[in-house]
Chain A
Amino acid sequence: MENRSDPSSETAPVGLSLHLDHEVLSELGSDFFPESKFHLVPLQDASYALLKKGDRLWVNYPDGEYCDFPFYRKNIALVLNGLLKLPKISRQTDEPFDSLIRSTQSIEKRVFSAATPGRHTKDLWDEIIRKINTLSQESHSLRDLTEKLLDVPFLQNFETSLIVLHLKGQTKAEILGSLWRSEKFQSFAEVKEFNSFFNSVKKSKIKSFTTEVFPKLNLPFNGSFLAKEVVSRKYTLVALASRHDFLSFGREEIELFETCIDLLQPHFERLIDQEFSDKRISELRICLKDFPLPLRIRNHVTGTSFQNDLMKGELQEQDIFFTKKVMGPFTLDLYDSDELRHYAFDLFHFQRISLLGELLNTLRHELSNPLFGLMLGSQMFRTLDVATDNKDLMKEIEKNVARCQVIIENFSNLYQIQNEPRPVHLKKIIDESLVLAKSEGREMRKKVIYEGDTESLELSVPLIFVVQILFNLIVNAAQALREAMVTGGELTIRIAREEKNIAIHVCDNGPGIPSEKAVQLFKPFFTTKASGTGLGLVLSRNLALKMGGNLEYMSDTELKGAHFCITLPVT
């Protein structure tokens, strides 16, 4: 279609004064530059100058800044078009050349706003080092430092700076920094990906990469970037910077970037150290804050203390029941509380049970083969033609071996922690407990009275819990009788049905418990025995409560000995 636009509306000739290097002119010919638009003038009078240096085209601007491009006909045409779009001479010296750059987007560009060869290299270096020193002092975190990296003079045209950090022993590498100079960024990468990335960077001489080479690293931008690795005892990291384009980097830029990151290494080190010790402390604080027991940590040197959320109000010194010097000037105080009883004793009990379970299991395995050998040997002899009385003896040996096998089997089953209690005969519970306490209680007579139909009752409770309580009570009774040197010591276990409960009364005919001590019976660490822990009864009551029952000391009894009562729900 013919151009019918009104000639009067056309942009008036700009007539920019332009100096052309004779090399440019000879290569392109003077008709390439329409005289209506450009005044070709000597260098000193020109606003703009186009020079050819090797295979590059240099454009000098009035303020002394410059651009350079590969020397192509097309590029020169684009540059000239770009220049025409600028208002004549009205450019402020501090105005960036964005418009020009935008208008020549497809041109390979290299913009050094500060690192111009026109300046003295020494000045530039002084400036870079000064900048690095100030920004590393101003940075209070790794992220801070990474973001401020872009303030270093020669990086002022870069848009993004990131570090990819891998702390030794961590399962992920962290990517952090800022995008487009403003957007904060954080993500994680697999260690495998990080390692291959790190090795590529380390091996590379030109330190220049493009994002598409590392697709699995998921870098948050596209284009080419500079990268430099840092190795330390505790971490490895790669610092990278990009202009978000696909242009290659100049040798000077690469050198500057490498040196810059090298200069920053001690600051990376310091910030990483600080950050991760902060992180550890804050994690520790969270742990202590949510620790399920009321606790306080005192610092003797500073006189300060930390207490966690479960410490409600002012607690008295007498409520402390556990104090331990921990690290350095710190002392840990645990306070007596329901939580403490609940958690600590559960834990204590669980540990004891599982340890016993393990021991018994090992014992069962270890005993199983020798017992089987005894059984087999005896059976073998019995089938020989031996006298009848010897055969009976052999049978007796076999019976005993079988009993050993059953006992060890039962014990190890008993101590297996079961999640789902199965219904179990009350009589079995009582019998197991008596067998278990047999050696402790061998000096006293034992009497079991089942009232009503209680002997055939089944309870849906964890067998081991009830056995544990009964065992504790039986052993306590036996020890009390021995200590009081009671002759004819007797233990009575009486089982009675109450409405919805079953009551197991455990009584001895010893000296009983004086009322002033009886009130303290269920207090942790209260003991009348020389080697007692003071936990047996607390633990037992706790177990009973857990099963929906209770354990109480019956002080209003007419019996003179100690009388405990376990109540358990009947389902």
Chain B
Amino acid sequence: MKKIFIIEDEILIQQSLKKLFERRGFLVDVSASGKLAIDMILANDYDRIVCDLMLQDISGFDVIEESKKKFSAQDISKKFVIMTAYNSPQVLSRANAYQCRLLNKPFEDLEEAMRVMTESV
């Protein structure tokens, strides 16, 4: 079974996504803390990592940077999906540098968002 890891500190969003993924047949891990998420990424093999940018402790970019210990730049571009509510030019250019998928919150279309988050897993 494919494993998805959700890093999101808004529990309602985190749990809803977890349920939605589970219903599509994925194994799901979650974390509300960025620091904890780094440990979990290093310790587990996830097929997809959905990561919010604004976490309480550190930013989603920090999580991606730390996971460079384990992943190549190409791995990062394939594994990570960034979620953000603040699509400022700075955030966008930084996210583009990682070349990974980007989703704006709130999702305009849930089905489309689910498709982006699960594609080529």
Contacts and interface: CB of A to CB of B under 8 A. Distances in A.
A386 interface: no
Nearest to A372: B106
A379 B85 contact: no
A368 B85 contact: yes
Contact of B16 (A365, A368, A370, A379): A379
A386 to B, nearest CB: 13
Contacts of A380: 16, 19-20
B17 to A, nearest CB: 7
A416 to B, nearest CB: 15
Contact of B110 (A371, A376, A405): A376
A515 interface: no
A7 to B, nearest CB: 95
Contact of A371 (B11, B106, B107): B106
B16 A373 contact: yes
Nearest to A402: B106
B12 A370 contact: yes
Contact of B12 (A368, A373, A383): A373
B77 to A, nearest CB: 25
B88 to A, nearest CB: 11
A369 B23 contact: no
A381 to B, nearest CB: 8
B120 to A, nearest CB: 23
A377 B20 CA distance: 9
Nearest to B52: A369
A368 B15 contact: no
A379 B17 CA distance: 10
Nearest to B19: A380
Interface residues of B, number: 16
A76 B78 CA distance: 92
A365 B86 contact: yes
B20 A370 contact: no
A370 B10 CA distance: 7
A24 interface: no
Contacts of A376: 12-13, 16-17, 20, 106-107, 110
Interface residues of A, number: 16
Interface in A340-383: 365, 368-377, 379-380, 383
B105 interface: yes
A383 B19 CA distance: 10
Interface in B9-54: 10-13, 15-17, 19-20, 23
Interface in B70-121: 85-86, 105-107, 110
A410 to B, nearest CB: 16
Contacts, number: 46
B19 to A, nearest CB: 5
Interface string A507-551: 000000000000000000000000000000000000000000000
B74 to A, nearest CB: 30
Contact of B13 (A365, A372, A384): A372
A374 B20 CA distance: 14
A365 B87 CA distance: 12
A315 B51 CA distance: 68
A371 B107 CA distance: 11
A223 to B, nearest CB: 55
Nearest to A376: B16
Contact of A373 (B13, B86, B110): B13
Contacts of B12: 370, 373-374, 376-377
Contacts of A368: 85, 105-106
A370 to B, nearest CB: 7
A383 B16 contact: no
A380 B24 CA distance: 12
Nearest to A368: B85
Contacts of B10: 369-370, 372-373
Nearest to A382: B110
A54 to B, nearest CB: 75
B64 to A, nearest CB: 20
A405 B19 contact: no
Nearest to B11: A373
Contact of A372 (B15, B19, B23, B105): B105
| From A369, A377, A384, residue with most partner B Cβ within 10 Å | A369
B116 to A, nearest CB: 15
A372 B110 CA distance: 11
A405 B85 CA distance: 13
| From B11, B15, B23, B106, residue with most partner A Cβ within 10 Å | B106
Contacts of B20: 376, 380, 383
B16 A405 contact: no
A405 B106 contact: yes
Contacts of A405: 106
A371 B86 CA distance: 15
The 10 closest A-B pairs by CB, nearest first: A373-B12, A372-B106, A376-B16, A380-B16, A373-B13, A377-B16, A369-B10, A373-B10, A377-B12, A380-B19
Interface of B: 10-13, 15-17, 19-20, 23, 85-86, 105-107, 110
Given A365-B86, A373-B11, 8 more contacts: A369-B13, A372-B10, A372-B13, A372-B105, A372-B107, A376-B20, A377-B15, A383-B20
24 contacts: A365-B85, A368-B106, A369-B13, A369-B85, A369-B105, A370-B12, A371-B106, A372-B13, A373-B10, A373-B11, A373-B16, A374-B12, A376-B16, A376-B17, A376-B20, A376-B106, A376-B107, A377-B12, A377-B16, A379-B16, A380-B20, A383-B20, A383-B23, A384-B23
Interface of A: 365, 368-377, 379-380, 383-384, 405
